[in-house]
Amino acid sequence: MKLTDISRMDFLKKSGLGLMGMVATQGLSGPAAVIDPTNAIILKEANKSSYTLKNVLLETGFAYQDEEVIRTKTDLFCVTISDGKISHVAANKPNDLNAIDAKGLLMLPAFKDMHIHLDKTFYGGEWQAVRKRTGGVKGMIALEQQILPEMLATSTQRAEKLIELLQSQGTSFARSHVNIEPTSKLQSLINLQKALENKASGFGAELVAFPQHGVFYTDSVSYMKEAAQMDIDFIGGVDPYSLDGAIEKTMDFTVQLALDNGKGIDIHLHESGESGLKTVEYLIQKVNENPILKNKTYLSHCFVLANLEPTKQEAIAEQLSAAGIGIVSTIPFGKLMMPIPTLYKHNVTVLTGNDSIIDHWNTFGSGSVLQKANVMAQLYGYSTEFLLSRSLKLATANLLPLDDNGAQQWPKAGDTANMVLIDASCSAEAVSRISPVKSLIHHGNVLY
């Protein structure tokens, strides 16, 4: 069932949160009186601009034994949301008839998918497995050139369906790469922007102008320049050596385009050998030459890091950290064990995303970045209460309820009201068990 297809009666049969979701998603701005049969009360003048949740489970600290974190402390609170922000966190009032009952669910920051392709997906249509690949990345480019015109005809509707899947998994924000190349020109971007506009009340995004077919391999220069002046946030790129045949030429173009238009950079780098390492080192050099790009530059995938010797991994991680270059990893496993612990050790920003949910590249995406955090925790043995709780940051783009010392840092008055309510006792359990998300709130709007 689509999120937008849930009827009023369906909401009335569910919790008070569902009831509030009906008010919010229908965009009622005036007063309304609605009945919550679960608690047999009338929520008077309920509207999306201000409401209070009671019986909200929040993390409050760590419990220790022999200096080891053995448990996460929690308690129930009231959380008031006004005009899209958290206005007040107070002691719980379980008998407050004007508050919406969160029923002891754990409140966590809403999830963020920081690497996905919303603009080209089969999701919402018939099942299609990946076709046999021939010719490497260039062979896939040839395939895209054939199928993109047909995909563009439904890309707005498919993107909306994909956004709904992400929302159902607790995600209300994404960084989406958008094809910019001679086949689709700017149409893929225009179609996705329309989908995002249609979903704006419940979903946010930042966009990467992505020359999927190479900057020079298919002469995407003019389209990239035009896209850079539109409402996008990052200049993208892909495998400059294997596609364009020259690291410096492509990287110089990418960096200069970002500088000229005040954008960040997010480059797909699949090359896992010498050319991959040279690309990483050259990007570090260019960011150090242009400090305005620090903390605005990312390498997606960056598989070459998995193939480096440990001492070289340490050295590159230290350089990435100093340059403020982040890594966006889909947490691959098998032969590509990314050095995530080493990146964390050197305070490199690490983000994750589903990449492809179902398209001609891949069909294994679930839509859940909480699942990504779970996979990471399993891969690197993050099985203790403390390490599991820290692993949540992969799903939330590095926002955690408790800092490393156990001090509560979220939620606070003034924070944007982007949160999930999840059926778990704490962050550690949520990651370990991929606990079900029961409610998503975006800028104060209760989506379900």
Per-residue model confidence (pLDDT) at position 334: 86
Give me the chain's average pLDDT, please.
Answer: 90
Per-residue model confidence (pLDDT) at position 15: 34
**Predicted confidence (pLDDT) at residue 8 exceeds the cutoff of 60:** no
Segment 127-142 shows an average pLDDT of 86
The crossing angle, in degrees rounded to 10, of helices 155-168 and 187-198 is: 50
Class of domain 3-104+408-446: mainly beta
The arrangement of secondary structure in 111-367, i.e. its CATH architecture, is: Alpha-Beta Barrel (3.20)
| Tokens read off for 12 | 């009335």
Q: Are the C-beta atoms of 308 and 344 separated by less than 8 Å? A: no
The more confident residue out of 63 and 43 is 63
Per-residue model confidence (pLDDT) at position 35: 32
Per-residue model confidence (pLDDT) at position 26: 33
**Predicted confidence (pLDDT) at residue 363 exceeds the cutoff of 50:** yes
Reduced 3-state DSSP string for the chain? CCHHHCCHHHHHCCCHHHHHHHHHHCCCCCCCCEEECCCCEEECCCECCEEEEEEEEEEEEEEEECCEEEEEEEEEEEEEEECCEEEEEEECCCCCCCCEECCCCEEEECEEEEEECCCCCCCCCCCCCCCCCCCHHHHHHHHHHHHHHHHHCCHHHHHHHHHHHHHHCCEEEEEEEEECECCCECHHHHHHHHHHHHCCCCCEEEEEEECCCCCCCCCCHHHHHHHHCCCCCEEEEECHHHHHCCHHHHHHHHHHHHHHHCCEEEEEECCCCHHHHHHHHHHHHHHHHCHHHCCCEEEEECHHHHHCCHHHHHHHHHHHHHHCEEEECCCCCCCCCCCHHHHHHCCCCEECCCECCCCCCCCCCCCCHHHHHHHHHHHCCCCCHHHHHHHCHHHHCCCCCECCCCCECCCCCCCECCEEEECCCCHHHHHHHCCCEEEEEECCEECC
Segment 413-426 shows an average pLDDT of 98
| Residue percentage of the chain with pLDDT more than 90 | 85
**Predicted confidence (pLDDT) at residue 19 exceeds the cutoff of 70:** no
Per-residue model confidence (pLDDT) at position 48: 54
- Compute the C-alpha angle 295/300/303, nearest 5°: 125
Cis status of the peptide bond prior to 411, with omega within 30 of 0: yes
**Predicted confidence (pLDDT) at residue 1 exceeds the cutoff of 70:** no
Q: Are the C-beta atoms of 436 and 127 separated by less than 8 Å? A: no
Q: Tokens 């040839």 belong to which residue?
A: 142
Q: Determine how many CB atoms are found less than 10 A away from the CB of residue 231.
A: 10
Give the pLDDT confidence of 28-62 residue by residue, as tens digits.
222 222 334 343 333 333 345 899 999 999 999 99
Per-residue model confidence (pLDDT) at position 101: 98
Task: Choose the weakest-confidence range: 88-92, 124-128, 217-221, 419-423.
Answer: 124-128
Chain region(s) in the chain for CATH 3.20.20.140:
111-367
Per-residue model confidence (pLDDT) at position 132: 84
Which residues are 101's β-sheet partners?
54
**Predicted confidence (pLDDT) at residue 5 exceeds the cutoff of 70:** no
Give the pLDDT confidence of 233-291 residue by residue, as tens digits.
999 999 999 999 999 999 999 999 999 999 999 999 999 999 999 999 999 999 999 99
Per-residue model confidence (pLDDT) at position 344: 98
Q: Are the C-beta atoms of 395 and 373 separated by less than 8 Å? A: yes
137 falls in which pLDDT band (50, 70, 90)? confident
- Give every CB contact of residue 243 below 8 A, 6+ residues apart in sequence: 137, 138, 213, 214, 215, 217, 250
Per-residue model confidence (pLDDT) at position 133: 78
Segment 394-412 shows an average pLDDT of 98
Give the pLDDT confidence of 156-210 residue by residue, as tens digits.
999 999 999 999 999 999 999 999 999 999 999 999 999 999 999 999 999 999 9
63 falls in which pLDDT band (50, 70, 90)? very high
Give the pLDDT confidence of 328-348 residue by residue, as tens digits.
999 998 888 999 999 999 999
Q: Tokens 């964390």 belong to which residue?
A: 344
Chain region(s) in the chain for CATH 2.30.40.10:
3-104+408-446
131 falls in which pLDDT band (50, 70, 90)? confident
135 falls in which pLDDT band (50, 70, 90)? confident
With 0-12 CB in 10 A as exposed, 13-18 as middle and 19+ as buried, what is 278? Answer: middle
